[in-house]
Amino acid sequence: MIESFRQQESEASSGACDSPPRQAGATSFVLDEGCAAQLVERTTLEARWAEFSHAPQRERGLVLLVGERLELPALRCPPEPVLWLRCMRGLPRISDDGLDVEVWGSPPGDAPARLLLSLRLENAQPQAGMREVLLDLPLAVDEVWKLELRCEPGPQGQGDADWLALIGLVVCAGEELPLLRARSHHAWRLANEIEHFSHVYSNAFYRDRHVDRRGEGGAAMGPVRSLPVSASLDDAGERVRAALLARLQDVPPRAGENAYGYATRMLGKLIPERAPDFVGRLRQMFASRDGQPLRMLALCAGEAAVEGQVLAQADVPVELCIVDVNAGLLEQAALRMPPSVTVDRVLGDANDIGLQLGRFDVICITSGLHHLVELERVLGAIAKMLRPGGEFWLIGEQVGRNGNRLWPEASDMANRVFAAWPEAKRLNHNTGMVDKLLPDVDCSASSFEGIRSQDILGQVDRHFLPVARYLRNAFLWRLVDVAYAANFDLAAAADRELLMDAVVEEAMHWACGGRGTELHAVYRSKWADMGGLALA
């Protein structure tokens, strides 16, 4: 728990201020009354943890005076480390020159401490000076650091009336922040919640609930029991792996198939869901149109190879409009269409799409939405461009982390698989080098590849209702993409076994909550469902 000690006493003592031994251990810290941190006091306060009546809402935090510091325990730096800080003035009014909040970090060895963050709280700031800061920590993974927060006077040194209210402080991997931030002040929040709902449900607003339905002679209620301690869940991982591997033994590679196609096809055998039948949907839609051709719009179509395959298999009359920024690819796209399709090629940026092309029965994007910046505008326009009963299709869409990066938990799992492969299978054909781990490159830094991919699902849900959705492939695609696929000879049993093992790990990761990145989906428009016929 937080330990407080007087600064003058600690400086006179031989070891009271010594840091804990630096060893691999915790990778996160959450400020709470029971946390392992040391408060170096300037003076004793009756209540270090307090609620602040001058706050814009009910807030609780730790009080620091000028000249005091909070020393965090030694932390082993996690991947993508962040520091989240929430603080405000501890008094309604502090000194005229304000106070400074500083975060310092002490690296391993004898290197001096570094100033990582400094912010000033002043009387002129609204909302009691409430500040919330998220800082990417410039620290190396697995190094053991000591961090401390200091409360310092403003530029004129007027610190007598300066109180800092430290509401929240979390240090962790960026992915863990939402969870760990919510864990702070648990006991205080729980007590408030119990008190709140005990009061609110006595309100007349809920009088219809205040009924004893047991009746006469009803069974007596037993005493309220405490929730038992959870038993350990049975880890059946090895049995599951063996069963999944057995299911893949009867999935031979196809002629001309590469490692990517083989691996993703095997994955489809293990996942119980199925991708939408786009061919069947197109035929069914045409059957309801009294012989009239369907209108279909393909955005970000490129060569439209996938669209051409779907249309060829469906073999129904379609008036297809293709939009892309690449004139050369538009020429190629027209060549891929079957005779039943008439093609209208439009050179343009899909970010600018609106109602200028009319309305359609199907609007399709194949692996292209993650290249677009204006998701709000594009998806809003598509919702209004669909005819009643029309459908919006996403085929092979990348909805993972921005920049086509793996999510941290997927990256960890993928690298466990990858690092166990022989060097010949880790040859990167993009660089000519053998990789120890999978490269972690943000492709959106220099292009539109995955520029907003992690926003897609949320933005689509704003405008559309799902009809069918198939979401899979958290990391497998990265192991068998263009950089590594050529390393595998599918005629060799050993190579097939490596791929099977990777597919099984992907399937288990998916089943245990892994975030899929490959989306195949059919949606209908909220606008059309609400009767948006004025645009017809």
Domain ranges of the chain: 3-184, 259-529
Residue 124 clears pLDDT 50, i.e. is over it: yes
- Do the Cβ atoms of 75 and 19 come closer than 8 Å? no
Backbone angles phi, psi at 495, to 5 degrees: -70, -40
CA distances (Å), origin 35, targets 38, 78, 145, 194, 243 = 9, 19, 17, 23, 44
The CATH H-level (homologous superfamily) assignment of domain 259-529 is Vaccinia Virus protein VP39 (3.40.50.150)
- Count of C-beta atoms within a 10 Å radius of residue 242: 10
Backbone angles phi, psi at 505, to 5 degrees: -65, -40
Grade residue 200 by pLDDT with cuts at 50, 70 and 90.
confident
Per-residue model confidence (pLDDT) at position 457:
98
Q: 247: number of CA atoms within 13 Å, CB side? A: 17
Q: Give the CATH number of domain 3-184; options: 2.60.40.1080, 3.20.20.140, 2.60.120.260, 1.10.10.10.
A: 2.60.120.260
Strands annotated E in 43-95:
49-51, 60-65, 69-71, 75-76, 81-89
Mean pLDDT rounded to a whole number for the chain:
91
Per-residue model confidence (pLDDT) at position 338:
95
Both structure tokens of 246: 């057995």
Q: What is the mean pLDDT of residues 345-370?
A: 95
* Tens-place pLDDT, residues 377-403: 999 999 999 999 999 999 999 999 999
Per-residue model confidence (pLDDT) at position 34:
87
Per-residue model confidence (pLDDT) at position 231:
67
Both structure tokens of 353: 């799409």
Query: Same CATH topology for 3-184 and 259-529?
Result: no
Per-residue model confidence (pLDDT) at position 233:
58
Residue 8 clears pLDDT 70, i.e. is over it: no
One-letter amino acid at 534 equals A
Per residue, what are the HEC states of 255-275? CCCCHHHHHHHHHHHHCCCCC
Give the chain's radius of gyration (CA, Å). Answer: 30
Grade residue 217 by pLDDT with cuts at 50, 70 and 90.
low
* Tens-place pLDDT, residues 15-67: 333 333 444 479 999 999 989 999 999 999 989 999 999 999 999 999 999 99
pTM: 0.86
Residue partners of 207: CB distance under 8 A and separation at least 6: none
Q: Which residue has the tokens 């609204």?
A: 126
- Do the Cβ atoms of 74 and 25 come closer than 8 Å? yes
Rounded Cα distance between 223 and 483, Å, is 63
Q: What is the mean pLDDT of residues 173-181?
A: 96
Residue 12 clears pLDDT 80, i.e. is over it: no
3-state helix, strand, coil in the chain (%, to 5): 30, 25, 40
In this structure, the dihedral spanned by the alpha carbons of residues 476, 497, 501 and 475, taken in order and rounded to 10 degrees, is: -10
Per-residue model confidence (pLDDT) at position 232:
62
Grade residue 433 by pLDDT with cuts at 50, 70 and 90.
very high
One-letter amino acid at 217 equals G
CA distances (Å), origin 170, targets 90, 132, 147, 167, 188 = 19, 12, 11, 10, 17
Backbone angles phi, psi at 354, to 5 degrees: -145, -135
Backbone angles phi, psi at 390, to 5 degrees: -75, 165
